[in-house]
Structure 1
Amino acid sequence: MPAAARTIARPAQFDRTSQHRRAMLAKIQIARKDLAMDEDDYRQIVFDKTGRTSLKEASEADLAQVLDVMKAKGFKPIARAGKVAAAQHPMARKARALWISLYHLGEVHNPSEQALEAFACRQLKCDKLVWARQSDAFRLIEALKSWAVRSGWTQHNRATQKPLYPIERQASLCEAILVKLKAAGHVPQDWALHDAMWKLCGEENAREHSWSAEDYARLAQQLGAKLREMGGAT
Structure 2
Amino acid sequence: MRATEAARPARFDRAQQSRRAMLAKVHIAKKELRLDEDDYRQILADETGKTSAGDCSVGELDAVLGRFRARGWKAATQRRSTGHAMHPMAKKARALWISLCQLGEVRNPSEKALEAFAKRQLGCERLVWAKQSHSGRLIEALKAMAERGGWAQTSPDGRNLTVIELKCGLCEAILAKLIACGEVPADWTIDVAAWRLCGIDTAATEHGYTADNYGDLAEALGRKLREADPATVRTA
* Length-normalised TM-score, structure 2: 0.61
Q: Which runs of 5+ in 1 are unaligned?
A: 1-79
Residues 1:164 and 2:161 are matched in the alignment: yes
Q: What displacement does 1:207 show?
A: 8.4
Q: Specify the SS of the correspondent of 1:206.
A: coil
Give the percent of matched residue pairs that are identical in Structure 1 and Structure 2: 55
1:51 matched residue in structure 2: none
* 2:172 is the alignment partner of 1:175: yes
What is the CA–CA distance in structure 1 between the aligned matches of 2:180 and 2:203, rounded to whole Å?
23
Matched, 1:193 2:194: no
How many residues are paired up?
Answer: 152
Kindly report which structure 2 residues correspond to 1:23-102, keeping only aligned pairs within 5 A, or say none: 85-102=83-100
Q: Which residue of 1 aligns with 2:200?
A: 203
Letter in 1 for 2:97: W
Distance in 2 of aligned mates of 1:110 and 1:175: 21
Residue number in structure 1 paired with 2:35:
none
Q: CA deviation at 1:205?
A: 5.7
Counterparts of 1:125 and 1:88 in 2: how far apart (Å)?
Answer: 19
**Do the aligned residues in 1 keep the contact of 2:198 with 2:221 (CA within 8 Å)?**
no
Considering only aligned residues, what root-mean-square deviation do their CA atoms show, in Å?
Answer: 2.1
Distance 1:207 1:190 in 2: 22
| Conserved? CA contact 1:194–1:207, under 8 Å | no
Higher alpha-carbon Rg: 1
Show CA shifts across 1:77-114 (max 9, x none).
xxx9xx96321000000000000000000110011000
CA contact (8 A) 1:124 1:132 kept: yes
Q: Give unpaired runs (5+ residues) of structure 2.
A: 1-77
Counterparts of 2:202 and 2:118, CA distance in 1: 41
| TM-score normalized with structure 1 length | 0.61
1:216 aligns with 2:231: no
- Please report how far the alpha carbon of residue 201 of structure 1 lies from its aligned counterpart in structure 2 after TM superposition: 3.4
Greater helix fraction, Structure 1 or Structure 2: 2
Amino acid at match of 1:214: D
